Each structure stands twice: as structure tokens, then as C-alpha cells.
Amino acid sequence: MRGKAPTLLCLLFLVSFLLPPHLAAEQNQRYAAIFNFGDSLVDAGNLIQNGTPDFLATAKYPYGMTYFGKPTGRCSDGRLVIDFICQEFGLPLLPPSKAHNTTFKQGANFAITGATALETEFFEKLGLGKTVWNSGSLHTQIKWFQDLKPSLCGTPKECKELFSRSLFILGEFGGNDYNAPLFASRKFKEVYGMMPHVMKSISDGIEKLIAEGAVDIVVPGVLPVGCFPVYLSLSVSMFKIKKEGFGSRSGCMKKFNTLAWVHNSLLRQTIAQLRVKYPGARIIYADYYSAAIQFILHPEKFGFEKQIPRACCGAPGEGVYNFNMTAKCGELGATSCPDPSTHWSWDGIHLTEAAYGHIARGWLNGSFADPAIILTDSSSR
């Protein structure tokens, strides 16, 4: 029997080594539930749970065409980053938190399109009440989570135990906050002035979740908005960007990408401070920015066509970006490209399922995250 024990251990090691990545993740790192917060990048249908407004193009075909075969309220042709992460850990796709007649025992998705880090009152005081569409701010979503707790656990001890074994994803937040002054043609100085308030709101949100018992918390940064067709199509008429204001390789607007980069730098500093304050928590910075830049500079590595930033689903408008404010994806006059998997930009505002899949894998294995969501031998909770 002495000789068989080492042999058995070697076989077990070999089996675990040969497991597909998602099964390896399940074997080594199980989550009881996943709770997700955010905006339209991760909204799984909260905005349409009480009926679909006629004007809401994202609830119409071809949204959902790739994976679900129909619109689900997701602002993409298929799955989002959060969907891939759930599948990686062997959990069902998260139901929208506002869904009826469903169970949330394995998690819930509180994200909703239009969400901001800051409350509506903040924008109203700046005269931006008409340019922000806040359907559920970061702290409103955390309140929805707290309201849901009685259906998840019976006592404070049970809740903390459950949440310590769950994965929390908070964001991204900030993109819609900055959109409000940008689309109101405010000066960039005013946009930068909002950043400390956005950082404090995100930091307060992380601390609220830690107080509830969260241990593993993923906090994504914002995308390089200067590369997105919705902005690029307005680069001359609204934003008055001159030729030298575009990247020579990317074709993106430098000014806008710098804004996103500064936000992400400040967010990483905020996370670093919270890691010191809460050494028992594992706070992960998730990187949308680097992934999107890679899609543009090295598209062939991801199976994307080499082209200037261009929406897969849209209509000709200002410039060559296939984005038109009067004929957005899902609206009359817009069409979809034959194969969304060859594009990273879905509708000029959001990404394709293919792009989200690459990002999710980067968050899981660490190529687009610090540290990786999936624990390795060199990392621990």
C-alpha cells in the first residue's frame, strides 16, 4: 500500500492538470453565489423587467442574436463578461434582481442601464439633470442588494458566511457620470473635477460590501471611450477634435482616452488604499481599458478584423464609424454585420459577445486583472 499512495497522488495531480480551465476553477475555487452591480455593460435585463419602453432599441433584435437568439435586455449580441464568469464557475447566468418568480440563492445581477456612481442630485446641482439618465446609482443598487438579503439568509451570521463565499463585482462605474458633462459640451476641467466624487462613491460602495461580509470583490475600471464610435462620430461636430487629436495607430481621440486612463489610475490608487485598510479582503482591479486597446492595435490576435473603430450594428453617420444617433442598432435603418465575432464594437457604445469573452478570460487568468480572479499557487484569499 505504501507504493500505491504516491501513485494515487500523482494520478490525482495529473487529472487536475488535464481538466479544462472552467472545471479546474470549479475544483479549486467554488463560489456559493455571485452578486453583480453596474451599468449597461453588465445589465442582464433589469431595465425591462416591468415592461419594455417602445423607445428602447437595446430590447429589440438583433440584440441577443448570437447566444440567446432573442433580445434579453443585454446591450450586446450575446453574453456579457458577467455571464462568462458565471459559466466559468459552474453557476447559472445571474437573474436580473428585479425579475419576478425566480430564486436568487446563487446570486443576482443588480446592474441597470444608465447607472452612475453618483446620485441624480449631484448632477442636478451642476445643471446636468437633463443629460444624465440614472435608473439606479451604485448606492441604489447596493440598497436593492440589502433589501434582497432576507430571501438569501436568515441571520446576520448566515449572511456573512454566505457572502464570504461569494464573488462580488462592482462596476464599472464612472462612465455614465462623465457622459453627462461630456454630452452637455462642458469643459474637460469640469469632468476631471467630478473624479474625486466618483472615487469616493466607489470606495464607499466597496466598504459597504465588505461590511456585509464580502471578501472577494472585483472592481473594473472604465473603457477607452475615445475609441468608441458613439464618441468618434461626434468628434468634429460636437467635440471639435482636430487631426492631431487622434492617435496615429489607433484612430482614437487622445483627450478622451486620457480621461479614462486618469480615472483608472485613481481607481487603482483607491483600491490600494482599501487593501491596506482591509487586509482580509481580496480586492481585484479588472481592466477593460487595456483589453479594448489590444482589440484595436492587435485585432488579429482576437479574431477581429483590422479596421478603424467601427460598430458591427448601426448605420452610416458622421465619419466612417457606422454609428448614427438617429438610426442606432435596433432602430429603423440600422443593420448588423454578418458575423459579430469579427468585431469588438457591437453597437458603437457596447461590445460584442466575442470581445466580452476575451475580457472575461483576462479577468479570470490575470492578463486583464490585478490579481487574477482565479486563485493560483502564488495567490491566496
DSSP 245: G
Q: 289 with 261: CB under 8 angstroms?
A: yes
Measured between alpha carbons, how far is 161 from 214 in angstroms, rounded to an integer? 9
Query: Of the candidates 293, 348, 350, which has an alpha carbon nearest to the alpha carbon of residue 317?
Result: 348
Measured between alpha carbons, how far is 220 from 321 in angstroms, rounded to an integer? 26
Q: What residues are paired with 253 via a beta bridge? A: 246
State yes or no: is 100 an active-site residue.
Answer: no
Strands 282-286 and 313-314: what pairing?
unpaired
Query: Of the candidates 69, 112, 71, 68, which has an alpha carbon nearest to the alpha carbon of residue 93?
Result: 68
- Within a 10 A sphere around the Cβ of 165, how many other Cβ atoms? 14
Point out the catalytic residue in the list 166, 233, 347, 358: 347
- Within a 10 A sphere around the Cβ of 102, how many other Cβ atoms? 11
Measured between alpha carbons, how far is 197 from 215 in angstroms, rounded to an integer? 24
State yes or no: is 358 an active-site residue.
Answer: no
Nearest 10 degrees: Cα torsion 93, 116, 260, 34? -20
H helices present in the chain, as ranges: 4-18, 21-28, 81-88, 120-125, 138-148, 156-164, 175-182, 188-212, 229-232, 254-277, 289-297, 353-365
Measured between alpha carbons, how far is 9 from 20 in angstroms, rounded to an integer? 19
Residue 244 burial class via C-beta count within 10 angstroms: exposed 0-12, middle 13-18, buried 19 and up? exposed
State yes or no: is 339 an active-site residue.
Answer: no
Point out the catalytic residue in the list 40, 97, 166, 336: 40
Measured between alpha carbons, how far is 45 from 113 in angstroms, rounded to an integer? 9
Catalytic residues: 40, 347, 350
